[in-house]
């Protein structure tokens, strides 16, 4: 790698953090503040004036790096110059090795920012939690109008949120992407499905009488489509489908070689193909493969939104009174179109009028996105958003247990769907804490991370 390439990569590398906690001051005689001497306080103490200077320097560094990246992304190339006033050499195209290294550094920085407790996008966690509540509510026998509205956006919104957190620069090959997504989605899917078998047995063998046996149940887990074989929890179909969507989207990104127009065209073709499948193919397929081609459109839109999120937020911040009217207009328009289109289901790959489905799903989805971005941080809500894998797996078996336990409990669940859904939403929080503490491998986590809370 050339010296120029090394300078490019170093300019993109994340800066080291300034420690937030100081050293321990020496124990000694307590003096008045005006009498304290520097010798009694180590250089690492939080009282040292150099911390403020270091933070200002760090802020300046980050701003310079942001401007550097902005210029590089706008031009598609990287320009290096000398001191101010000196002649600037022309922009040069990076070599393939340098480009891969720059991409890896950018991906590492993005991952660090997403995972850090200080830079984590709290609103994104809370958005997952809100979407999860609507998924739970959608499994209740509520009114037809309510189901029509919920089904119009709740699964498209989940695919959009997944696209918001995807960074193609993390992977060099399609195989690397598939392996990583298999670890994060497929392994938890199989483990959580197996872990739900005792609850399924309670629901369908003890409280009810189901002809399905253990072999049929294992087939259901492998196929991940309840229309073909029963499974321990019917909501986990989303995970294998999301795995396929993520890999397909990365493949599009890889094949189009970073071309925005090429990627948009590939996704559009996928959407058209998915629409054709929804009309022509009436056969239930393992892993909901026909749904993948439609879901990748919402995945791409979520990805695109994160690329332009700062522009959207800045535009709305310049017009603070526009936030609520925009949310209301999107929600009303989306609801009207959804009611006109009728009940849809991504699970069944059934969309009625496809253009109405897309417009209503996006209008309602973005109404919720913007509304959640206005919310303050609610720690339990953010925690739910960080543990949606557990929620996806366990909320349906809990609901079935309530419905099957007795006629009275089933009647209560049917008569009061929103309070019952809220109760399940809250009850799963301590269950998630236990899983994170005792069985973290079920959700692709490691031991030693406590109860799963992210520090403020």
Q: What is the DSSP string of 401-412?
A: HHHHH-HHHHHH
For the segment 138-180, what is each residue's pLDDT rounded down to a tens digit? Answer: 998 788 899 999 999 999 999 999 999 999 889 999 999 999 9
- Residue recorded with tokens 């200077």: 53
* Longest distance between any two alpha carbons in the chain, whole Å: 85
pLDDT higher at 375 or 27? 375
Question: Which of 262, 1, 305 is closest to 127 using CA atoms?
Answer: 305
- Residue recorded with tokens 């332009």: 308
Query: Lowest mean pLDDT: which of 57-71, 365-379, 409-423?
Result: 57-71
Q: Is pLDDT above 60 for 46? A: no
Q: Is pLDDT above 80 for 373? A: yes
- In degrees, to the nearest 5, what angle opens at C-alpha 89 toward C-alphas 84 and 92? 130
Residue 9's alpha-carbon distances to 68, 72, 306, 332, 438, in angstroms, are 12, 12, 23, 47, 40
Over range 255-264, report the average pLDDT: 94
Q: What's the pLDDT score for residue 255?
A: 95
3-state secondary structure of 230: coil
Q: What's the pLDDT score for residue 61?
A: 57
Question: Which of 431, 453, 433, 327 is closest to 383 using CA atoms?
Answer: 453
Query: Lowest mean pLDDT: which of 2-11, 82-91, 179-188?
Result: 82-91
Q: What's the pLDDT score for residue 72?
A: 52
Listed ranges 11-20, 114-123, 407-416; the one with the highest mean pLDDT: 407-416
Residue 296's alpha-carbon distances to 237, 242, 264, 303, in angstroms, are 16, 9, 11, 10
Sign of the alpha-carbon torsion through 377, 133, 166, 74: negative
Query: Lowest mean pLDDT: which of 38-52, 228-242, 411-425, 433-447?
Result: 38-52
What span, in angstroms and rounded, lies between the C-alpha atoms of 78 and 71? 8
What span, in angstroms and rounded, lies between the C-alpha atoms of 147 and 336? 14
Query: HSE-up of 123 (CA within 13 Å, CB side)?
Result: 13
- pTM metric for this prediction: 0.74
What span, in angstroms and rounded, lies between the C-alpha atoms of 253 and 97? 19
For the segment 286-337, what is each residue's pLDDT rounded down to a tens digit? Answer: 999 999 999 999 999 999 999 999 898 888 888 888 889 999 999 999 999 9
pLDDT higher at 45 or 394? 394
Q: What's the pLDDT score for residue 352?
A: 96
Q: Is pLDDT above 60 for 248? A: yes
Over range 410-431, report the average pLDDT: 94
pLDDT higher at 15 or 269? 269
Query: Is there a contact between 164 and 301 (Cβ–Cβ < 8 Å)?
Result: no
Q: What's the pLDDT score for residue 84?
A: 39
Sign of the alpha-carbon torsion through 88, 90, 96, 100: positive
- Residue recorded with tokens 């399905």: 212
- Residue recorded with tokens 């957190």: 165
What span, in angstroms and rounded, lies between the C-alpha atoms of 272 and 320? 37
pLDDT higher at 34 or 274? 274
Q: What's the pLDDT score for residue 210?
A: 79
What span, in angstroms and rounded, lies between the C-alpha atoms of 136 and 402? 13
Query: Lowest mean pLDDT: which of 56-60, 102-106, 234-238, 280-284?
Result: 102-106
Q: Is pLDDT above 50 for 425? A: yes
Question: Which of 60, 54, 90, 65 is closest to 10 using CA atoms?
Answer: 65
Q: What's the pLDDT score for residue 42?
A: 42
Query: Is there a contact between 399 and 412 (Cβ–Cβ < 8 Å)?
Result: no
pLDDT higher at 367 or 28? 367
Over range 17-39, report the average pLDDT: 43
Give the pLDDT band (50/70/90) at residue 76. Answer: very low
Question: Which of 164, 220, 172, 165 is closest to 197 using CA atoms?
Answer: 220
Residue 34 phi/psi, 5-degree rounding, is: -70, -15
Q: What's the pLDDT score for residue 33?
A: 43
Query: Lowest mean pLDDT: which of 18-27, 65-74, 220-229, 408-417?
Result: 18-27
Query: HSE-up of 282 (CA within 13 Å, CB side)?
Result: 2
- Residue recorded with tokens 């253990």: 214
User: Which neighbouring-strand residues pair with 354?
Assistant: none
Residue 275's alpha-carbon distances to 270, 293, 351, 425, in angstroms, are 9, 8, 8, 33
């Amino acid at each position: 790698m050339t010296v120029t390439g090394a300078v490019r990569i170093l300019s993109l590398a994340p800066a080291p953090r300034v420690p937030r906690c100081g050293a321990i001051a020496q124990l000694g005689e307590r003096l008045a503040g005006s009498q304290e001497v520097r010798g009694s306080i180590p250089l690492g103490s939080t009282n040292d004036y150099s911390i403020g200077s270091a933070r200002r320097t760090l802020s300046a560094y980050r701003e310079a790096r942001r401007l550097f990246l902005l210029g590089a992304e706008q031009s598609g190339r990287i320009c290096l110059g000398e001191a101010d006033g000196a002649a600037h050499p022309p922009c040069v195209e990076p070599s393939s090795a340098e480009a891969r290294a720059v991409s890896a550094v950018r991906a590492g920085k993005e991952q660090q920012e997403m995972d850090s407790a200080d830079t984590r996008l709290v609103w994104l966690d809370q958005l997952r939690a809100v979407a999860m509540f609507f998924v739970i509510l959608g499994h209740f026998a509520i009114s037809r109008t309510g189901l029509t509205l919920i089904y119009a956006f709740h699964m498209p919104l989940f695919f959009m949120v997944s696209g918001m957190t995807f960074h193609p620069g993390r992977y060099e090959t399609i195989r690397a992407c598939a392996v990583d997504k298999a670890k994060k989605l497929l392994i938890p899917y199989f483990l959580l499905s197996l872990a739900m078998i005792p609850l399924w047995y309670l629901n369908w063998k003890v409280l009810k009488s189901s002809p399905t046996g253990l072999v049929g149940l294992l087939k259901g887990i492998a196929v991940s489509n309840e229309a073909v074989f029963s499974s321990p929890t019917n909501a986990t179909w989303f995970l294998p489908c999301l795995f396929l969507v993520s890999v397909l989207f990365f493949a599009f990104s890889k094949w189009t070689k970073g071309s925005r127009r090429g990627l948009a065209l590939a996704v559009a073709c996928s959407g058209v193909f998915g629409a054709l499948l929804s009309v022509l193919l009436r056969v239930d397929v393992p892993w909901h493969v026909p749904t993948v081609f439609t879901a990748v459109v919402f995945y791409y839109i979520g990805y695109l939104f994160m690329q332009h999120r700062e522009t959207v937020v800045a535009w709305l911040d310049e017009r603070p009174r526009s936030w609520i009217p925009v949310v209301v207009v999107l929600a009303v328009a989306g609801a009207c179109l959804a009611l006109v289109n009728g009940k849809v289901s991504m699970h069944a790959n059934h969309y009625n009028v496809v253009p109405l489905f897309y417009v209503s799903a996006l209008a309602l989805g973005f109404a919720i996105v913007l509304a959640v971005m206005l919310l303050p941080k609610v720690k339990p809500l953010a925690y739910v958003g960080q543990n949606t894998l557990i929620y996806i797996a366990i909320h349906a078996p809990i609901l079935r247990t309530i419905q099957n336990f007795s006629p009275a409990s089933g009647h209560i669940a049917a008569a009061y769907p929103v309070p019952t859904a809220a109760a399940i939403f809250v009850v799963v929080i301590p269950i998630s804490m236990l899983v994170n503490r005792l069985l973290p491998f079920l959700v692709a986590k490691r031991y030693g991370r406590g109860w799963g809370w992210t520090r403020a």
